[in-house]
């Protein structure tokens, strides 16, 4: 008999304990400062050098690259190490699941990663840290070293489509899993939110861990409003105990 597959859809709420703000929440940066949203909007970024310069300054002050995994990230990695088949589908770009010990091949980053840069012309990829070192050395809008094209964070900006290959893999996991845990996500941004419905439609046990109500609460087998840093480790320990 095949072992149950646990799918975890993680949103911004998983990383707030690591000091990374929720940009889209009620008090998020994009709600407070519409101008800030331009810095991560593809058309503005590509057409306005000043927007790019401001974006690079914002990245220099970004807490994401200095953040450390918290109890929630570590609990997910521990579940995987215990032998339970686990796949993470994340809306976050911070790479903290991998830093906590999840194998990179078992983490699907729906919105890309803030730890890399990509050229918009030749698609060459590089390290964000290396790009920021160039900014600190005086390059306000560092071009691609391969072709001179415009560099951007390897994240999905507003106005860009999700990678269809990554989304396809996420859909496959949602259909195949036996337990689907949506944690720290409002389940309001499609198509990621729809994965919860896909999992439920295919017979998975749906667990939602989030401070605020979501559109999928009525379909969930369990809704947890406790703080993620304590609730998720408890839930995942329970799954591990069932398997042992």
Name the residues annotated as catalytic: 111
Chain centroid to CA 82: how far? 23
Q: How many CA atoms lie within 13 A of 159 on its CB side?
A: 10
Phi, psi of 26 (to 5 degrees): -55, -35
Cis previous bond, 191, omega within 30: yes
Cβ density class 129-146: b for 16+ within 10 Å, e for less: eebbebbeeeeebbebee
Spatial strand order of the sheet with 125-127 comes to 125-127, 112-119, 151-155
CA distances from 128 to 12, 18, 60 (A): 20, 19, 10
Question: Which residues on adjacent β-strands are paired with residue 209?
Answer: 183, 224
- Residue where the block lists tokens 């994240």: 155
* Residue from 34, 81, 48, 71 nearest 184 by CA: 71
- Residue where the block lists tokens 């521990």: 78
């Amino acid at each position: 008999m095949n072992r149950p597959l646990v799918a975890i859809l993680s949103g911004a709420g998983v990383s707030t304990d690591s000091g990374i703000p929720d940009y889209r929440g009620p008090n998020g940066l994009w709600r407070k400062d519409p101008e800030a949203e331009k810095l991560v909007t593809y058309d503005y970024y590509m057409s306005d050098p000043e927007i790019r310069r401001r974006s690079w300054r914002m990245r220099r002050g970004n807490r994401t690259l200095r953040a450390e995994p918290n109890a929630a990230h570590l609990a997910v990695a521990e579940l995987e190490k215990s032998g339970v088949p686990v796949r993470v589908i994340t809306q976050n770009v911070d790479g903290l699941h991998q830093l906590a010990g999840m194998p990179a091949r078992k983490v699907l980053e729906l919105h890309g990663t803030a730890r890399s840069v990509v050229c918009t012309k030749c698609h060459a990829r590089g390290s964000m840290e290396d790009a920021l070192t160039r900014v600190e050395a005086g390059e306000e809008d560092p071009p691609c070293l391969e072709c001179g094209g415009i560099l951007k964070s390897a994240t999905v900006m507003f106005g860009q489509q999700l990678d269809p290959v990554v989304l396809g893999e996420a859909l496959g996991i949602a259909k195949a899993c036996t337990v689907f845990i949506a944690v720290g996500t409002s389940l309001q941004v499609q198509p990621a939110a729809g994965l919860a419905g896909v999992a439920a439609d295919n017979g998975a046990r749906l667990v939602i861990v989030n401070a605020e109500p979501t559109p999928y609460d009525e379909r969930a087998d369990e809704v947890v409003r406790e703080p993620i840093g304590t609730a998720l480790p408890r839930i995942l320990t329970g799954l591990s105990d069932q398997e042992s």
